[in-house]
Amino acid sequence: MPTDRADVSFEPVAERHLPMLLAWLSEPHVRQWWGDPDVELGLIREGCSTGEVDGFVFHLAGEPAGYIQSWIPSQYDEEPWAKDLSSDTPGVDIFVGPPEMTGKGVAALALRAFAGRLFEKGAARIVIDPDAGNRRAVRAYAKAGFVPFAEWIDESGRTLLMELTRTEFERNS
């Protein structure tokens, strides 16, 4: 497994990626947390085409390894936990696609490389909102440098809110 952020590259989502994304979204390790594959693929496609999200297929050493996107949580009323975030604080979502790549540090590596890109574009803080029960994701995000700052509990469950600041990122780079 690649262990250097330089091994990670990002390719904007294009129509030709959709079958691969659907296959990944259909994998049990992704579907458990992302939901219905057809619905999620539609949201990715629409979000990327409207600019609501910046979605990418990420590659490790040239091989497609997963999906990552940034978005602005404060723009969504359906995310009440985000109402106090500034409009320049991006949120990030990620999944590792191929099951054989899970549990190997791939998500943390890709997330760290993606965070570097967001900080280069001027973000001072990045947030991520895993389901608190998704221990694998929480561990990966912590490994990438994210720390919990709050919890949100509603009818859909418990969300752990985590952040990475530019200062912390630079301190640990």
β-strand pairing of 157-165 with 91-96: unpaired
Q: Contact at 8 Å (CB) between 60 and 2? A: yes
Per-residue pLDDT of the chain (173 residues; tens, 9 = 90+): 455 666 899 999 999 999 999 999 999 999 999 999 999 999 999 999 999 999 999 999 999 999 999 999 988 877 888 888 888 999 999 999 999 999 999 999 999 999 999 999 999 999 999 999 999 999 999 999 999 999 988 887 889 999 999 999 998 87
CATH number at residue 147: 3.40.630.30
pTM over 0.85: yes
CA 105 – CA 116 distance, rounded (Å): 17
Indicate the SS3 state at residue 51. Answer: coil
Please list the alpha-helical segments (H only) found in 51-165. 106-120, 135-143
Count of structural domains, the chain: 1
Which domain range does residue 105 map to?
5-171
